[in-house]
Amino acid sequence: MIEIKELTTSAELEEFVKFQFTLLEGNSFWVPPIISDEVENFDPDKNPVFEQAEGRYFLAYKNGEPVGRIAAIINRMEVEEQEKPKMRFGWFDVIDDIEVTKALIGQVREIGQKYDLEYMEGPVGFSTMNKAGMLVEGYDELNTMITWYSLPHYKEHLEQLGFEKEKEWIEFEIKIPEEGPSDKVKRFSGLIMEKYDLEVIHYENKKEILGHAEAMFDLINKTYSDLSTFVPIQQEEIDYYKEKYLRYLHPDFINCIADQDGELVAFAITMPSFAKALQKAHGKLLPLGWAHLLKARYFHDKAAFYLIGIDPKYQNKGLTSIIFKEMNEMFNNRGITTVETNPELEDNESIQALWNSYENRIHKRRRTYRKAL
């Protein structure tokens, strides 16, 4: 018999987080989150996303043992202002037993019907800044800190239950030329900077980064506003994410471009890959988790490409050549030979075209699934 329990207390939510550790223990491709960060995600007193969203969390038990989890989510801005009658679900992990999946999805359906929503989609988080998409290819590739790892039967269960593909993302692995950016890239980069009277901004410390953080989030809202998956990032979320993720950023890995008035018109954020360090930390910063993360910040040969934003006025005008020139030179100086992109919607051809000049391969795909309520 399958029992579903709704979780509400901090201790219960920690159990919700730790279920993934039990299920995926020993999987060499899964990258564990920091447990305390995950629990904080679900705390309305700490995470400002709950100004616009609400979540309910469920664990499934069989013979007294936890066998699956799911979060049922409603983003009110999406439903009320963007008029998308969507019931979200995320943080979905389950043993290979379709009856468990059926019971968990049943909780999501019941909540969606109660609020007169029309369909459910997942796995997705609370908002644009959260993880999204179920891994459907690349199970034997190392995951990243900003994506969910999924087992092959997750996809099979949802499809057996009548879910259909809604959106699909692809991830690239890119080889960085050891000889540096090509003469063509250097020349074109210089021409674009001169034509539009632009300058590259280099940061010395985190304080300087904070000075442009608001402008970066503004560019994210402008850059991605037309995507079907996008929910505008609110000011309280900006403040929260600045504090939450600043510790991971290194000034050398942030490339920004300003116009003649000093206004930010483009940026790109990469990071050293923290995947192996997070595996060693195994969900805890203490006693040695911090040490693993700190070491990864300085000693690595792989980086992760997380965000790029370009003011619509400057899109398709060659600014990416400036960013790639700067990135290529920095990676060469640091001995980085490989970069992994964040998930990109498969129909976002303008972003994918950026990698055509580099040796690359699509090594992961992830997908959200949809079903009428």
The domain ranges of the chain are 2-172, 177-336
Mean pLDDT of the chain, nearest integer: 90
Q: Cα 135 to the chain's mean position, in Å?
A: 13
Are 309 and 223 in contact, with CB atoms under 8 Å apart?
yes
Q: Which fold has domain 177-336?
A: Aminopeptidase (3.40.630)
Band of residue 356 on the pLDDT scale cut at 50, 70, 90? confident
Q: What is the pLDDT of residue 98?
A: 97
Band of residue 24 on the pLDDT scale cut at 50, 70, 90? very high
Average pLDDT (119-140) is 94
Average pLDDT (272-278) is 92
- Tens digits of residue pLDDT in 291-314: 988 888 777 789 988 888 888 888
Nearest-angstrom CA–CA distance, 215 and 217: 6
In the chain, count H helices and then E strands.
12, 14
Paired sense of beta strands 199-201 and 264-272, if any: unpaired
The SS3 of residue 144 is: coil
Q: What is the pLDDT of residue 324?
A: 85
Band of residue 239 on the pLDDT scale cut at 50, 70, 90? confident
Dihedral of the CA atoms 335, 305, 141, 122 (nearest 10)?
A: 170
Residue with tokens 């795909």: 365
Nearest-angstrom CA–CA distance, 67 and 55: 20
CATH of domain 2-172: 3.40.630.30
Average pLDDT (106-130) is 95
E strand residue ranges, the chain: 2-7, 53-62, 65-75, 86-94, 119-122, 134-137, 164-175, 199-201, 254-258, 264-272, 302-310, 338-341, 344-345, 360-372
Are 49 and 235 in contact, with CB atoms under 8 Å apart?
no
Residue with tokens 């992760």: 304
φ and ψ of 295, to 5 deg: -65, -40
- pTM metric for this prediction: 0.91
CA-angle at 358, arms to 222 and 337, nearest 5°:
100
